[in-house]
Structure 1
Amino acid sequence: MADQIQQVAIVGGVHGNEFSGIYLVKQYQANPEQASRSSFTTQLVWANPEAHYANKRYLHSDLNRQFKTADLANPQLANYEQSRAKVLNAQLGPKGNAKTDLLIDLHNTTSNMGACLILTQAGPFYNKLAAYVKMKMPEAIISRDEDHFAAEDHALMCTLGRYGVLVEVGPQPQSVLRQDVLELMHRMTQHILDFVQLYNTNNLPALPKHTEAFRYLHSIKLPMNDKGERIGMVHKNVQDNDYQPINPGDPIFTLFDGSEIYYDGDSTVYPTFINEAAYYDNNLAMSLNEKVLITLE
């Protein structure tokens, strides 16, 4: 096979208070045989140690929003995370001509999302990977997150690699560890590594032709008044029901005066990142997705 994955990077701790990825990288550093296979080598990276030591998501700006090609080339972007992005680009990239063939970026969320494989690009490699992971791990969620954008326009760290994916697992509060979440992250990462080995050696099993996935549509904000103050919260029927359908007319917010706000779209959507703690600084309540099928050629 011409398309060989020779160099993999597993990255944890892009956000300093998401502990699962940091500790999974530590686990793999202690047990390197878990992180590599015979057909490729694996680099283990702790992306944002200073934010972790400060017990914060980031010090100055979100590291996972610093990887647009233009931003990486802009020397005026020089705060801690912007500088870290440039260091990581030199270590793992450079973006657009990367020495890293596959970058696996590990994250956890306060939302009840289970184990999600997030794809930021489209193409045969990603489609086969999604089909394999879903076949091996039926409870996994496959998310196609704005995969219509070119990699150079994506700000996410995983787009440094020639290929890149995110493993997003929850629910887990910020700055704590949960064994079930860490184990889910480990299982999904192992399936990705197994896939790469089989892909490289042309030994992939028969894969399902169709794989269910979710494509990001847009995010919605918490209810606010004209002063920018929150006047409501996510409805209890929606809370913790990530990837469960919201139909037109369903309640999505409860206001503090006891009234409800209903979903006014014209088609069924599937919410995710519901009440994600890290997004409260932007007053984001949830992301809405449509259900799609990934079809193998």
Structure 2
Amino acid sequence: MDQIKQVAIVGGVHGNEFSGIYLVKQYQQQPEQITRSSFTTETVWANPEAHYANKRYLHSDLNRQFKTVDLANPDLSNYEQSRAKVLNAQLGPKGNARIDLLIDLHNTTSNMGACLILTQAGPFYNKLAAYVKMKMPEAIISRDEDHFAAEDHALMCTLGRYGVLVEVGPQPQSVLRQDVLELMHRMTQHILDFVELYNKDALPALPKQTEAFRYLHSIKLPMNERGERIGMVHKNVQDRDYQPIHPGDPLFTLFDGTVVPYQGETVVYPTFINEAAYYDNNLAMSLNEKVLIEL
């Protein structure tokens, strides 16, 4: 039987996402909160230098450095690229990892609530999603490009044999919110409880179907031919992460007052709406389809 023997909880991949950093500190001070009988859990603070600088990253996004080919490329040597190689040596190596499950903690400025993001498919992930949703009905389950092989994913959680992200918001950058920290803690505890029951073959009866959202693509803010922003997310969309957008619904408002509608042909579900960290790429939101995870 598949066994999860070593778990890593990682915070602070992005230096200005504070909840993961402070939750890791909490767990270091109160290790009983992450102690279970069937596996060992360690904590990692991934990007301390970015945190000390109060920035998301110093040179490049650490959470985009973990493709197998990039980890093996010695020419990728800026701070975050080098840090990724250190973390790969510490927790991986990717493809033959020491860590069985990597739980990566993140905040978003978007109104996403508590999201469990799965980057891979398979029975373990399907059961985990069903368990977390059963225990925490308000949780959102996201399947983020789970059709890609782990080696082609750039996210840190794909270092582990299994890996998930806990993404919680809304929380401003470089700020702590008690409600968000508590949501992150609750979801993390449910994941650890699941692993304990999974290892002992003692999982309760799980729902046969679990609602989830699969990433389709991202869309950019309205821009002119000079690359300047000429509009913003429509007020009817703002803060409505995972709420449906129908063809013809307002999507953007231009600064001259023009309303730009959604021109797709199917209902989509936006997330990471107006995420502050994505403004450097002028990304407005990600669009998803609703799917069912079946056991």
Given the two structures, how large is their TM-score scaled by the length of structure 1?
0.99
Query: How is 1:15-30 mapped onto 2 (pairs within 5 angstroms)?
Result: 15-30=14-29
3-state secondary structure, aligned to 1:293: strand
How many matched pairs? 295
Map 1:106-145 → 2, pairs under 5 A: 106-145=105-144
Give the Cα–Cα distance (whole angstroms) in 2 for the partners of residues 257 and 294 of structure 1: 43
CA RMSD of aligned residues (A): 0.3
Q: CA deviation at 1:36?
A: 2.2
Partner of 1:186: 185
For 1:28, the aligned partner's letter is: Y
Secondary structure at the counterpart of residue 23 of structure 1: helix
Structure 1 equivalent of residue 284 of structure 2:
285
Q: 1:195 is matched with which residue?
A: 194
Counterpart Cα distance in 1 of 2:153 and 2:266: 28
Q: Which runs of 4+ in 1 moved over 4 A?
A: none
CA distance in 2 between partners of 1:29 and 1:60 (Å): 28
Deviations 1:14-73 (A, max 9, x none): 000000000000000000011121100011000000000000000000000000000000
Partner of 2:84: 85
> In the alignment, which residue of structure 2 is the partner of 1:205?
204
Corresponding residue for 1:270? 269
- Does residue 241 in structure 1 map to residue 240 in structure 2? yes
Q: Secondary structure at the residue paired with 1:87?
A: helix
Equivalent residue, structure 2, for 1:32: 31
| Equivalent residue runs for 1:35-184 within 5 Å | 35-184=34-183
Q: Deviations over 1:223-245 (max 9, x none)?
A: 00000000000000000000000
Describe the superposition over 1:132-187 as per-residue Cα deviations: whole angstroms up to 9, x where unpaired. Answer: 00000000000000000000000000000000000000000000000000000000
5+ long unaligned stretches in structure 1: none
Quote the Cα distance in structure 2 between the aligned partners of 1:99 and 1:38. Answer: 19
What is the CA–CA distance in structure 1 between the aligned matches of 2:36 and 2:9, rounded to whole Å?
A: 13
Is 1:232 matched with 2:243?
A: no
- In structure 2, the gaps of 5 or more residues are none
Q: SS at 2:10's partner residue?
A: strand
Aligned partners of 1:283, 1:37: CA distance in 2, in Å?
43
C-alpha separation between the residues in 1 aligned to 2:228 and 2:35? 49
Task: Give the 3-state SS of the residue equivalent to 2:88 in structure 1.
Answer: helix
SS at 1:110 equivalent: coil
CA distance in 2, matches of 1:259, 1:99: 54
Which residue type is aligned with residue 94 of structure 1? P
Alpha-carbon displacement from aligned partner over 1:195-220 (angstroms, at most 9, x marks no partner): 00000001000000000000000000
Q: Counterparts of 2:141 and 2:193 in 1: how far apart (Å)? A: 17
Deviations 1:104-138 (A, max 9, x none): 00000000000000000000000000000000000
- AA at the equivalent of 1:175: S
In 2, the alpha carbon distance for the partners of 1:36 and 1:247 equals 45
- Partner SS, residue 193 of structure 1: helix
Query: Which amino acid is 2:275 matched to?
Result: E
> Aligned residues: percent identity?
89
For 1:3 and 1:101, how far apart are their aligned partners in 2?
Answer: 10
Q: State the match for 1:221 in structure 2.
A: 220
- Alpha-carbon distance between aligned partners in 2 of 1:117 and 1:141, rounded to the nearest angstrom: 6
Q: Match of 2:90, SS?
A: helix
